[in-house]
Amino acid sequence: MKTLKLLTGYVLLATLMVSCYADVIIEDNFIEESAYNTDQVLQDYDLWYVDINETRGYGEVPFLQRAFTISFDRGIVYANNNIVGIGKTGGGYGIDVGTYSTLRGIVEIDHDIDGRWALEVYAVNRNTIELYDASTDTSYFLKGYQTNSFDYNMVFYDNINYFIQEYDAWEKIYTSQTGAINDFDNENYIQFLPDFFRSSLDAPNTRVSNLQWDYEGNYVVYDVQGDNTLKALTLDYDFFGDDYFELYVINDSTIELYHPSSGTTYEFSGRGYQQYLKTGKDILTKKRTKTSNPIMKVERKKVK
């Protein structure tokens, strides 16, 4: 048997509040003491941020693959599956996605869509836990935060690719009077899918279901060196070459694209919001993957 260790910090404190003589025993950081102790660990933080890039293994737990944050509160599991509305939906916790119960070092989750899962719970450090799924030999690493100190903006901008995919289409609602005439002036709709984009010349107020997509191609979102809130976007049209934009987020339903080569500013409003788990959307295609945006060294062209 490997060396037994005492779990310090919040786990020990939570247990001492219940019993003055019970120690929390960990084997290789596995939470051994009791079902109650495991529940206390899970509830010790309001939010657990799922750091998808730290995932280990080749399988997946679908609801963890989809969630940006997950919360455990008195038998109910909450998740922020969308970037749109993060920090506001459910008071910051997200939506109710299922129920849970605990055993010694195990959390059993009954997810509304993905069914029952039994995950082993390990303490990595004072505010990080590992949820291990033995059936797929896959580990997820979750970092704990309280809602009043969680940086929702960080999550928003770090996952901007998912944000622009959460609407069926983006409709152009504004074009600045300044700026040279260019081909993008005629494009009124953009749709961002995981692997490519499409754009349409259809007239404003066209129903999304009736849109005719005139162009498509690849797109890339870039982080900008030294500016966490500015993103760069390139649209690679199959036949017409690249268009480059500075991408600004006005709010969680409106984006601004500034076209440096013409000096034109465009605003787009989201149409057809997709709230995952609460709609009939194909949730199987809406899962996070290990990604990191390429970094572009650019000077902000648009004056704030």
Does 143 share its domain with 164? no
Domain identity same for 135 and 166: no
Closest CA to 56 of 130, 107, 4, 110: 130
Please report whether residue 178 resides in a domain: yes
Residues 15 and 143 in one domain: yes
Q: Is 119 helix (H, G, I), strand (E, B) or coil?
A: strand
Asked which of 124, 151, 178 is the last residue of a domain, the reply is 151
Q: Which of 201-205, 248-252, 272-276 has the highest mean pLDDT?
A: 201-205
Query: Rounded distance, CA 185 to CA 68, Å?
Result: 35
Q: What's the pLDDT tens digit per position in 30-51?
A: 566 677 789 999 999 999 999 9
- Distance (Å, whole) CA 181 – CA 5: 69
Same domain, 250 and 130: no
In a domain, 304, yes or no: no
Query: pLDDT tens digits, residue range 55-111?
Result: 999 999 999 999 999 999 999 999 999 999 999 999 999 999 999 999 999 999 999
The range of the structural domain enclosing residue 98 comes to 4-151
Asked if pLDDT for residue 113 goes beyond 70, the answer is: yes
Q: Are residues 274 and 248 in the same domain?
A: yes
Q: Considering the entire predicted model, what is its pTM?
A: 0.79
By DSSP bridging, strand 25-27 and strand 4-6 are: antiparallel
- 188/61 same-domain check: no
Query: Burial level of 241, CB count in 10 A (0-12/13-18/19+)?
Result: exposed
Q: Are residues 8 and 114 in the same domain?
A: yes
Tell me: do 203 and 87 sit in the same domain: no
Torsion of CA 38, 41, 46, 50, to 10 degrees: -80
**Which of the pair, 288 or 180, is modelled with greater confidence?**
180
Number of domains in the chain: 2
Q: Would you say residue 1 has pLDDT above 50?
A: no
Please report the pLDDT score of residue 283 as a whole number.
46
Structural domain contains residue 301: no
Mean pLDDT, residues 278-282 taken together: 51
Q: Beta 115-125 vs 106-111: how paired, if at all?
A: antiparallel
Which is nearest to 219 in space by CA: 233, 204, 206?
A: 233
CATH assignment of the domain containing 181: 2.40.128
Let me know if residue 239 belongs to a domain. yes
Tokens for 33, please give them.
């003491």
